[in-house]
Amino acid sequence: MTQTKKQEQEDLLLLDKQLCFPLYAASRLVTRLYQPLLEPLGLTYPQYIVLMILWEDAPCSVSHICDRALLNTNTLTPLLKRLENDGFVVRTRSKIDERAVEITLTEKGKNTKTQCKHVPQEMSKSLCMPDSKLATLKQSLEDLIADLQEQ
Amino acid sequence: MTQTKKQEQEDLLLLDKQLCFPLYAASRLVTRLYQPLLEPLGLTYPQYIVLMILWEDAPCSVSHICDRALLNTNTLTPLLKRLENDGFVVRTRSKIDERAVEITLTEKGKNTKTQCKHVPQEMSKSLCMPDSKLATLKQSLEDLIADLQEQ
DNA sequence: TGCGATTATATCGCGTGCGATATATAATTA
DNA sequence: TAATTATATATCGCACGCGATATAATCGCA
């Protein structure tokens, strides 16, 4: 291999050339931004994601939440147990299919939606980017996810 | 509040309206894609990120890695200890400033770069998106990070 | 019907992430 | 120079994520 070609190939390992790193860093930074909004409600960021799913779809099964959150039961079972412990949800074995666990929102779980109403607004205030650019970014990420899910 | 207005505000809490969720999900899915490439080298994804920084900047201090990786010492100290245990790096107290710890690459740590040469190519094969779109996505994420870092 | 394959959830172990706090060293300043 | 402040790293505790594996219930097909 020529010196030039070797150099080019090594340069692909520069941090600034990676897509993965800004993805990883942006995700963590955005999560940090949510933390002070969610902490007063006694929620973590992944718990907030799961509650959003439940506000749309509850009562529903654990596997339904897995599908929407793109998380596995090894993450979701403990998370849902904590949500149950904290009084947001109830976990019940399905009568129709004894393998399945149905997740139901408690009154507290339902009411938390009202207390979260301000969260999206606060976030879009913090993400000081034009809405059109945010929309494009969101769409690109969704395209990426669709690609990755097929694999 | 009118019924319509209330409805609009609640709709902001739909999972599909969030930017944060595709960011969170895409980051995790991409990390999963790296795993089979890194596992044979005995590396996790965050360890790979730190090694990329070291291939550019080593020897350097822990705080320098913190700055580039956007991670804190509570994450990096244990990670670097594991990298040291696995023979990729050496940690030494700086003689100039006894507070600082200098991270040096071992021969194994340096050689691992050669073994990672194929990783970026493999990844871009897997991310089946036009390069121009990937470049735009990367730039948007970097803009987002720049915004978030100011806060 | 019965038995192997599939599905739904749970558990385990390990490596992050990160808020909070601790400790030691260096820099500053009164 | 002594006291204060700032900086660099480490530690602790807890909640993820996830590969691997386990368990129980259901399905499918011979």
Over the stretch B50-103, which tens digit does the pLDDT of each residue have? 999 999 998 999 999 999 999 999 999 999 999 999 999 999 999 999 999 999
Question: Between chains, do A140 and B136 touch, taking CB under 8 Å as contact?
Answer: yes
CATH number at residue B98: 1.10.10.10
In a domain? residue B102: yes
Question: Between chains, do B127 and A147 touch, taking CB under 8 Å as contact?
Answer: yes
Answer yes or no: are the C-beta atoms of A26 and B28 closer than 8 Å: no
Answer yes or no: are the C-beta atoms of B75 and B14 closer than 8 Å: no
ipTM over 0.90: yes
Residue B11: per-residue pLDDT = 83
In a domain? residue B13: no
In a domain? residue B89: yes
In a domain? residue A9: no
Q: What does R_g of chain A's alpha carbons equal in angstroms?
A: 20
Residue A84: Cβ-neighbour burial (10 angstroms; 0-12, 13-18, 19+): middle
With a cut of 80, say whether residue B38 has pLDDT above it: yes
In a domain? residue A27: no
Answer yes or no: are the C-beta atoms of A110 and A91 closer than 8 Å: no
DSSP output for B29-74 = HHHHHHHHHHGGGT--HHHHHHHHHHHHH-SEEHHHHHHHHT--HH
Which residues are CB-neighbours of B16 under 8 A, at least 6 positions away?
A: none
Query: In which domain, by residue range, is A81 found?
Result: 46-117
β-partners of residue A90 are A104
Residue A6: per-residue pLDDT = 53
With a cut of 80, say whether residue B5 has pLDDT above it: no
Q: Please state the domain count of chain B.
A: 1
| pLDDT confidence tier of residue A111, bands split at 50, 70 and 90 | very high
Distance A96 CA to C1 C1' (A): 22
**Helix ranges (DSSP H) in A39-130:** 45-57, 62-69, 73-85, 107-115, 118-126
How far is B140 from chain A, CA to nearest CA, in Å? 7
In a domain? residue B62: yes
Over the stretch B97-122, which tens digit does the pLDDT of each residue have? 999 999 999 999 999 999 999 999 99
Question: Between chains, do A140 and B142 touch, taking CB under 8 Å as contact?
Answer: no
With a cut of 80, say whether residue A78 has pLDDT above it: yes
In a domain? residue A131: no
Taking residues A59-83, what's their average pLDDT?
A: 98
In a domain? residue B136: no
Residues of A in contact with B151 (CB under 8 A): 33, 126
